Amino acid sequence: MRRPINIAVLGATGLVGLEFLRILEERSFPVGEVRALASARSEGKKIPFKGGELTVHAVSRDAFKGMDFALIAVGDDVSQEWAPIAAEAGCIVVDKSNAFRMDPSVPLVVPEVNPEDTRGHQGIIAGPNCSTIQMVMALAPLHRVNPITRVIADTYQSASGAGLDAVEELWEETRAVANGKDMQPSFLPYPLAMNLFPQIGGFSANGYCSEEIKLINETRKILHEPGMAISATTVRVPVEISHSEALHVEFTHAMSASEARSILADSPGIAIIDEPFENQYPMPLFAAGKDEVFVGRIRNDLSHPHGIAMWVVSDNLRKGAALNAVQVAELMMEQDLL
């Protein structure tokens, strides 16, 4: 019988950290000790786990001793400080931040897409951006059959992708609008209630914002296609949970919509909802709280003879973040890589 697995969760009081704990419980992960870690200001807080409570402790060097995994969901600077310390303590680190994703020595892993990359880890494994995960989940099965030459991606990303502060701000703005009041945002750059804006992260000199650059570079790394032509526009929308993406994909050879639909239907982690004449297609409302990446509106692109267009929706806190990290840990256990 496999011994219990000890896990440190850094960022345990955040949206993704709390989701880590829920998913560990839901999947009956063989946990031994779980250490809930956060900044010093969260010291002593209680958070639910498996019918009881965990006490949150301030992160420290000693906090990672005796742990098998460190699941980390904090800002880039905090990850850069603590992930190497956790790895030095003997943990396998699965980090959700952007700190290590493009480091050539750090695998960037979606278990359904590139599980073999975990074998190259040196103590740290990076989890991709939430919008990247659902995109590569939809692209990879098709790319294996018919190599992709170009992708145009437009994303519609929920407030929770920006964290708890953004979610709370959206709800406050929504209540204000309902009561005929004006409210100025304090966290996001513009009001999100009854609005959307095409900016996630700061802009670079080429006119692309940081979320768009992440989507492009991470997809290339995961698919091992450094020259793949990808363009992206990322949009923040007034939805609490779940990101949506309109993907226009060009292939080496012509592919029918029915063939693409069949390939995706047989792919792990994908659920097809594609009955447009019955108003059945993926939506954030239905994806929230679920593990699958939902794909629909699969159709031939009328503008390109080798093109497929599709609509992809997934819970950004689950498969887009916490679930993917837990699946990486499960994969490491299956491969006896602890």
139-153 pLDDT per residue, tens: 999 999 999 999 999
Residue span(s) of the chain under CATH 3.40.50.720 come to 5-128+321-334
pTM for this structure? 0.95
Determine the pLDDT at residue 338.
75
**Is 243 among the catalytic positions?**
yes
Categorise residue 133: left if φ over 0, alpha if ψ from -120 to 50, beta otherwise.
alpha
**Model confidence over 210-230: pLDDT tens digits?**
999 999 999 999 999 999 999
**Model confidence over 109-137: pLDDT tens digits?**
999 999 999 998 999 999 999 999 999 99
Please state, rounded to an integer, the average pLDDT across all residues of the chain: 96
Distances, alpha carbon 100 to alpha carbons 105, 108, 124, in Å: 9, 8, 8
pLDDT band at 269 (very low <50, low <70, confident <90, very high): very high
User: What type of residue sits at position 203?
Assistant: F
DSSP letter for 141, please.
H
Q: Which one of 91, 243, 253, 304 is the catalytic residue? A: 243
330 CB-near residues (< 8 Å, 6+ apart): 27, 29, 111
Q: Kindly state the percentage of the chain with pLDDT values over 70.
A: 99
Task: Give CA–CA dist 98/79, Å, rounded.
Answer: 9
Q: Between β-strands 5-10 and 307-314, what pairing exists: parallel, antiparallel or unpaired?
A: unpaired
**Model confidence over 186-201: pLDDT tens digits?**
999 999 999 999 999 9
**Is 209 among the catalytic positions?**
no
Are 235 and 286 contacting, i.e. CB atoms less than 8 angstroms apart? Answer: no
Domain covering 132-316, topology: Dihydrodipicolinate Reductase; domain 2 (3.30.360)
Q: Which one of 130, 248, 304, 306 is the catalytic residue? A: 130
Are 216 and 128 contacting, i.e. CB atoms less than 8 angstroms apart? Answer: no
Exposed e or buried b per residue across 292-322, where buried means at least 16 C-beta atoms within 10 angstroms of its C-beta: bbbbbbbbbbeebebbbbbbbbbbbbbbbbb
Q: Which CATH superfamily is domain 5-128+321-334 in?
A: NAD(P)-binding Rossmann-like Domain (3.40.50.720)
